[in-house]
Amino acid sequence: MTWNLWWRFGPWEDRMAAIETVVRAEAPDVLCLQEVWGNGGDSSAARLAEALGFQFALTDDPFADRRAASPNPESSGFHNAILSRWPLRQPVSHPLPRLDGSDGHRRALSVAVEVPGGSWTVVSTHLDHRFDESAVRRLQCTALLRVVDSLRGDPAIDVPVIVAGDFNAVPDSDEIRMLTGRATVPVSNLVLSDCWEHVGEGAGHTWRSDNPYQASTAWPNRRLDYVFVSWPRPKPIGNPVAAHLAGLTAVAGIHPSDHAAVVVDLIST
């Protein structure tokens, strides 16, 4: 399951309870999160993990120096996270580039999830968001694929890498086409399978006009959030068998986030 939690925007304290309700109902084995707030040892990921009995890993805070220079009790970090019902090992926060190639504030978080009988590498990421930043997102996708390439084993025999997050790009954009092999790929013998394209029904919009937080949005309905599985992989390991959206409706009168979540079932053996 992947979900952008909308940081501390809107009625964030009430939204936390709604988010927990949705996650409990979906009962994912692994949960990738974006726009996670953090204050010291406290964070939306830590609270969810404690409530669910999960382990979690968090990216570093890209704005830590800025916040330290201008301390504000209400200021919070901006993170990606991965939660799992199974142990997490080897968490690494990978910076993604700006347009000039220098490290930006976006991150890809990778962990090894120690599932029964083995280990799967999972990556949670969040790319730049502006309509006109496709060039930046292409650079970030190139960096992301290089991270995946460094983490995967032998694609002929080893389990694939799961990559999930808010890519802020639609399926026919240059950056997503590059990830899925519809355009020239930056890493030979590596593309990402879009799980929704395999087994999802309908458009799968995760940015939606029926969400009250988008009442005045300038963007159309779009599919921005994805669960991918690396390819090549030994069939049928990692193949998606079901996909649906979650978090579409209010919980006790509160909509959980400005994004819908994506939930995918994968073949693991």
R_g (Cα) of the chain, nearest Å: 17
pLDDT band at 216 (very low <50, low <70, confident <90, very high): confident
Q: Which CATH number does the domain housing residue 235 bear?
A: 3.60.10.10
User: How high is the pLDDT of residue 63?
Assistant: 81
- Overall domain count for the chain: 1
Tokens 């990216």 locate to: 59
Alpha-carbon separation of residue 149 from 111, 146, 230 (angstroms): 14, 5, 9
More confident call, 54 vs 39 = 54
Neighbours of 130 (CB within 10 A): 9
Q: How far is residue 124's CA from residue 189's CA, in Å, rounded to a whole number?
A: 22
Q: For residue 68, is pLDDT > 90?
A: no
Tokens 């019902």 locate to: 85
Nearest CA to 240 out of 202, 197, 190, 204 is that of 197
User: Model-level pTM?
Assistant: 0.96
**What domain range includes position 97?**
2-266
User: How high is the pLDDT of residue 69?
Assistant: 67
| 220-231 residue pLDDT tens | 999 999 999 999
Nearest CA to 108 out of 39, 166, 182 is that of 166
| 122-169 residue pLDDT tens | 999 999 999 999 999 999 999 999 999 999 999 999 999 999 999 999
pLDDT band at 62 (very low <50, low <70, confident <90, very high): confident
Tokens 């389990």 locate to: 159
3-class state of residue 26 by DSSP: helix
Nearest CA to 109 out of 55, 175, 34, 179 is that of 34
More confident call, 40 vs 188 = 188
Query: What percentage of residues in the chain have a pLDDT greater than 70?
Result: 97
Structure tokens at 130: 């502006």
In whole angstroms, what separates CA 215 from the centre of its chain?
24
User: How high is the pLDDT of residue 96?
Assistant: 98
3-class state of residue 118 by DSSP: coil
Mean of all residue pLDDT scores within the chain: 95
Burial track 186-213 (b if 16+ CB lie within 10 A, e otherwise)? beeebbbbbbbeeebeeebbbbbeebeb
